[in-house]
Amino acid sequence: MPEIDVNNEPCSEGVAIVIFGVTGDLARRKLMPALYENAKFNRLPQPFYILGFARRPWSHDKLRSVLREGVMEYGRVQPIDEDILNSLLERAYYVESTFQDTAGYEQLNQALKDLGVQNILFYLSTPPGMYSTIVENLGKSELDSCPSGWRRIVVEKPFGRDLESAKSLDKELHSVFDEAQIYRMDHYLGKETVQNILAFRFGNGIFEPLWNRKYIDHIQITMAETDGVGTRAGYYDKAGVVRDVFQNHLLQLLTLTAMEAPAVFNAKAVRDEKVKVLVSISEITGDAALRNTFRAQYVSGTLDGKRVASYRDEPDVAPASTTETYMAARLFVNNWRWAGVPFYLRSGKRLPNRVTEIAIQFTQIPLALFGQQNLASEAPNVLVIRIQPNEGITLFLGAKVPGGSMHIEPVEMRFSYAEAFGDAPPEAYERLLLDCLTGDATLFTRSDEVEEAWRLTQGIIEAWETQKLQNLPVYEAGTQGPHGADDFLQRDNRYWRKI
Ligand SMILES: NC(=O)c1ccc[n+]([C@@H]2O[C@H](COP(=O)([O-])OP(=O)(O)OC[C@H]3O[C@@H](n4cnc5c(N)ncnc54)[C@H](OP(=O)(O)O)[C@@H]3O)[C@@H](O)[C@H]2O)c1
């Protein structure tokens, strides 16, 4: 390892982020730009150190120059303030080692002691298969504890690939770290608009009385992507949409939409309420899982005027792959607020638009006073919370068309975050890294929450695996998705919103 020159470093109680896998994509594209944004607003504790840990033969200077390029290229607000970036990078150091080699951890330990750092955030920005090795080695090298400072660890998603592996990863983590030290990252929760679901629900009085089975007909949660698998085929072909999106993002959006108001706004109270929602969802297994879900894979089609390849023709995808790139599911939250209200969830790749939204469809008016002239009756009141893009909230209403007759047409009442607050909202990682540094775990998933989400997902995975489809349904890229996904909504006399 290159020498760390600590001559000018005061012996202090500074804070360090140790990024395992610092030579990877996430560190350059997300973590470093997020640290820079926080530095710009003086939000980082001082003195603040960055220690990168990976196997490439890099020097401290090489690390600094790669991280600098990352900020220059991906920094959210341009131009970049070079003075701030330089002072952040002055305290960036590199430890060259494989994750398996215990000598690397001894070097890391020594470097942290030389720097006089008492408080350390370990960030596992590595392939998931490496988490256990790193955690075990942190334990062995006694880097996991310090009498006078704190230790925290961030674990990136995916957290396990099924219930069993998630439990065993948890066990390994808990053999070295306490639950309070563990921050399971689902960057979706760091998005401003996701947090705004809570602000909208619990910061306003008018919707709460309507937020229940009496006034809500059903809820649709959609996460549509235009992208294919890109460079992630190695991971995606083994994971599929159910592990990549359903187990984490879709279920997170569902819990935030359905949860009760917490007694106070802190990590324990918020996460307690979220877990209650997951526990209340009826598990779907076997035939019920098959009846209440739909899966499909995209074939070539036209998106934005361009021809795109079939999933099976994407680089690194097995030519006969049966991995699902689309899924829809119908779930019920069995509690007093939601009993009988279906939550329809769907996500897919290569759909016509990139959109994530939660649509709350209210019940119909009890009596059709305006009969045939009520053209809004086809599209009753819907409240759409748009997570991305064009973050905002839209309420669909029926209004009288000006003129002599009682002609009712659907209209929209819109609120746009960009119009109301200007700039693009901060990146999720900016908020989440700061929360880890200040010890606020509200926006991170707790052990029991992950386990409950996997329990629900496991039933679907097992049903799908047991009942392998000879011919997996397909949908053409650029279309609204597979026709079969409409079936269980139509059986309920309902329809998907157009993507
Ligand atoms: N990229 C994203 O936008 C994103 C978004 C959400 C979640 N995540 C998650 O974040 C994690 C990191 O993602 P990434 O895209 O940065 O991955 P990546 O580009 O594959 O980087 C992995 C890092 O780990 C290092 N590494 C792997 N095996 C090693 C070993 N045995 N010893 C030492 N170093 C080793 C790699 O070093 P080499 O460079 O030498 O291979 C590299 O620095 C993953 O769990 C991913 O699922 C990423």
Residue 389 domain-assigned (yes or no): yes
Residue 9: predicted pLDDT: 39
Average pLDDT over residues 346-366: 95
Residue 5 domain-assigned (yes or no): no
pLDDT per residue as tens digits for the range 430-484: 999 999 999 999 999 999 999 999 999 999 999 999 987 778 999 999 999 999 9
Instruction: Assess whether 263 and 400 both reside in one domain.
Output: yes
Separation between Cα atoms, residue 355 and residue 98, nearest integer Å: 39
pLDDT per residue as tens digits for the range 62-85: 999 999 999 999 999 889 999 999
Average pLDDT value over all residues in the chain: 92
Minimum-distance ligand 1 atom for the alpha carbon of 158: 47
- Output the CA torsion 228→234→240→245 (10° steps): -70
Instruction: Assess whether 32 and 86 both reside in one domain.
Output: yes
CA of 264 from ligand 1 middle (Å) equals 37
Any ligand 1 atom below 6 A from CB of 137: no
Q: Is the pLDDT of residue 314 over 60?
A: yes
Instruction: Assess whether 193 and 270 both reside in one domain.
Output: yes
Region label for 21, one of left (φ > 0), alpha (ψ between -120 and 50) or beta (otherwise): left
Domain end residue (candidates: 110, 131, 156): 156
Instruction: Assess whether 328 and 471 both reside in one domain.
Output: yes
Residue 8: predicted pLDDT: 39
The answer to whether 232 and 240 have CB atoms below 8 angstroms apart is no
Domain end residue (candidates: 134, 156, 178): 156
Q: Is the pLDDT of residue 11 over 70?
A: no
The residue range of the domain holding 258 is 189-430+444-491
Helices (H) and strands (E) in the chain, counts: 16, 17
What string of DSSP letters covers 95-107? Answer: EE--SS-HHHHHH
Residue 6 domain-assigned (yes or no): no
Residue 498 domain-assigned (yes or no): no
Instruction: Assess whether 421 and 313 both reside in one domain.
Output: yes
Instruction: Assess whether 326 and 459 both reside in one domain.
Output: yes
Determine whether 249 is an active site residue. yes
Q: Is the pLDDT of residue 281 over 50?
A: yes
Any ligand 1 atom below 6 A from CB of 63: no
Nearest of 98, 178, 172 to residue 136 by alpha carbon:
172
Minimum-distance ligand 1 atom for the alpha carbon of 133: 31
Residue 140 domain-assigned (yes or no): yes
CATH number of the CATH domain containing 347: 3.30.360.10
| 487 pLDDT tier (thresholds 50, 70, 90) | confident
Instruction: Assess whether 57 and 206 both reside in one domain.
Output: no
451: Cβ contacts below 8 Å, ≥ 6 apart = 163, 166, 167, 170
Residue 423: predicted pLDDT: 73
Task: Please pick, among 60, 249, 407, 483, the residue that the annotation labels catalytic.
Answer: 249
Q: Is the pLDDT of residue 179 over 60?
A: yes
Minimum-distance ligand 1 atom for the alpha carbon of 99: 32
* Pairwise pLDDT comparison (469 vs 244), residue with the higher score: 244
Q: How many domains does the chain have?
A: 2
Burial code of 105-115, b = ≥16 C-beta within 10 A, e = fewer? bbbbeebbeeb
CATH number of the CATH domain containing 45: 3.40.50.720
Instruction: Assess whether 205 and 280 both reside in one domain.
Output: yes
Average pLDDT over residues 332-356: 98
CA of 179 from ligand 1 middle (Å) equals 24
Residue 7: predicted pLDDT: 38
Any ligand 1 atom below 6 A from CB of 23: yes
* Dihedral sign computed on CA atoms, order 236, 240, 245, 247: negative
The answer to whether 36 and 88 have CB atoms below 8 angstroms apart is yes
Separation between Cα atoms, residue 302 and residue 323, nearest integer Å: 21
Instruction: Assess whether 350 and 456 both reside in one domain.
Output: yes
Instruction: Assess whether 399 and 460 both reside in one domain.
Output: yes
Sheet with 48-54: list strands edge to edge: 92-96, 48-54, 14-20, 117-124, 151-155, 182-184
Instruction: Assess whether 285 and 385 both reside in one domain.
Output: yes
Any ligand 1 atom below 6 A from CB of 381: no
Domain end residue (candidates: 131, 156, 181): 156
| 6 pLDDT tier (thresholds 50, 70, 90) | very low
